[in-house]
Structures are given as C-alpha cells and as structure tokens.
A and B are shown apart, each in its own frame.
Chain A
C-alpha cells in the first residue's frame, strides 16, 4: 500500500516537473507578437496624432506608447536602407529638419509600400514606441489600405 502511494506521488511529481519545464521553455521562447494581425487600439488621423504628442507629450505617451495605432495620412516619402524601410509622414519643419511620424515596416510587409507614390493617402498600423521630440515612431508596421 505504501509502495503504491510512493509510485503515485512520484509520477505526479515527474509530470509536474515536465510541465514546469515545458511552460518555462515556451514562455522563455515565446514568439514576438505579429503586429500585422493585431487589432488597432486607436485609429487616428496622422496630423491629429502628431499634434497630440507635440502639445502634450506626457499625456500622449501614457495614452499611446506600447499600443497598436492605425494612422491615416498623406505619405511624404519612403526611406530605404540596408536595414529597414521607413514610411515617413512629414508634418512640420523643426530645427533638425522635418518632423512627423516615422513608421518602420515589418521587412516582409515592406514590398507593398514600394508601389505607393508619395502624396497618396494611406493607412498604416504599427506599435507606437513614443515621441522623441521630433518624431513619433511606430515599429512593426504594415499597410492597412
């Protein structure tokens, strides 16, 4: 009888340890969020969005930073480097050149941007990382329409 209990307890403990290891492994290696599939927390006009940050950076940061934002506005230019593709919405001129919203595309989603001419009105969605006193940055972006 005692032996049977020992086996049961032992098996339960073994299962527990395996489960804990699996959870640890999957949590440790959990993938990055796919922002192209994420539902936007906010849908805003590019100009309004930028002005909100410029007039009240602290309040806008706590409202939008870390959230998924879909912005609609007139695309000014597309910057392509070896490392990244950035959709730029220029809204104003500052001391260090143009200021506005910079959207860093998910590499696999960048192709769709290439055929869009500057001046077009587009909607881009991405993860807002904040306002650096010249620009608002969205990362992991993809085109919505």
Chain B
C-alpha cells in the first residue's frame, strides 16, 4: 500500500513537471533604430508573439515585417518593398533558449540577467545569435528586455548607394516583452 502511494506521488510529480509553465505575449514590442549623421530612422512593431518555457528555457519570437510602423510612409514603403521584401518574407523569427534559465526564480520578484542563444531568421536568412538581456519578474509576470545590434548585410539586405549614407550598416534592436502565464 505504501509502495502504491509512493508510486502515485512520483507519477503526480512527473505529470506536474511535464506540464511546465509557459509565459506568453501577443503584443510584445520590438523597435529598431538606425542612426547616421544624415538622419535617424526608427520603427516599432507592437504585435510581436513570444513564448517562454520556464522549465526548458525555450524562448521563441515571431513577428510580421509589415507590422513595423514608421514615422514616414515613404520609409515604410521602401523598407517593405526594397529592403526586407516583406511580400516574399512576411515573418521574422527567433528560436532559441535562455541558457541560464535555472538562475531565475520565477516566484521571487527581482531583475535577473539572462543569456539568450539561438537562431534569428530575417529575410529568409538564419544566423546564430547570442545576446544578453534582463528578466524582471514581478508578481508572476516577466518583463523581458534586450538591446543588441544586427548587421544588415548579414541578412542579405542591400541598401542602394543613393541612400547608403542615410541608413546605418548596423541596426539597433530593442526588445521589450511583457510575458504572462499561459492560462489553459
């Protein structure tokens, strides 16, 4: 009888682990910023999907290129039509892991440094990236933030000579996602 109850306990624990908690958002914010002496250009995408698995550290992002909003209509047009060809490549994705997920106590409020590694795909080109960021745990929610740079030429984005001075070769990316526990 004792063995049976022990077995039941083990099974319950195993099931509990298998249904690890996920944190998700559908309205994450990714901003990019290009700065040159000629001009500064920024765009916001506030419809970013992101999901984090608290157990494994699996971390994914997915966004639609056409959802980037620019101040100037013309820039938005050039971005979609000429630079990222968003009709051909509508999505950008990141699939990776928080490598130090075990250092984060999701039950304790605080700011944690995180290391994120994985594959970033823009315009159909996939590159390995490894970036630093922070998780701010607050009352069961996680605010993930990171700032890093990408080189446009790494992703096959060609900037024509006429505007080469207006667009930076290295673009700053700011990630800001408010992840909430997935309720099923």
- A binding-site residues for B, Cβ under 8 Å: 27-33, 61-62, 65-66, 79, 81, 83-84, 86, 96-97, 102, 104, 127, 129-135, 137, 139
Contacts and interface: CB of A to CB of B under 8 A. Distances in A.
A33 B49 CA distance: 26
Contact of B47 (A27, A61, A133, A137): A137
A65 B47 CA distance: 15
Interface of B: 22, 24, 26-27, 29, 46-47, 49, 51, 62-67, 69, 72-74, 76, 80, 86-87, 90-91, 182-184
Given A97-B182, A129-B66, A129-B67, A134 B49 contact: yes
13 contacts: A29-B74, A32-B73, A65-B87, A84-B27, A96-B24, A129-B65, A130-B65, A130-B66, A130-B91, A134-B26, A135-B26, A135-B49, A139-B69
A62 B87 contact: yes
Contacts of A97: 24, 182-184
A66 B90 CA distance: 10
B181 to A, nearest CB: 10
A65 B66 contact: yes
Given A32-B73, A96-B49, A97-B183, 16 more contacts: A29-B74, A31-B73, A65-B90, A66-B66, A86-B27, A96-B182, A97-B182, A102-B47, A104-B47, A129-B47, A129-B66, A129-B67, A132-B63, A132-B64, A133-B62, A137-B67
A86 B27 CA distance: 9
A96 B90 contact: no
Nearest to B48: A132
Contact of A130 (B22, B74, B90, B182): B90
Nearest to A133: B62
Contacts of A79: 27
Contacts of B80: 66
A27 B51 CA distance: 40
A130 B51 CA distance: 19
Given A84-B46, A137-B47, A132 B66 contact: no
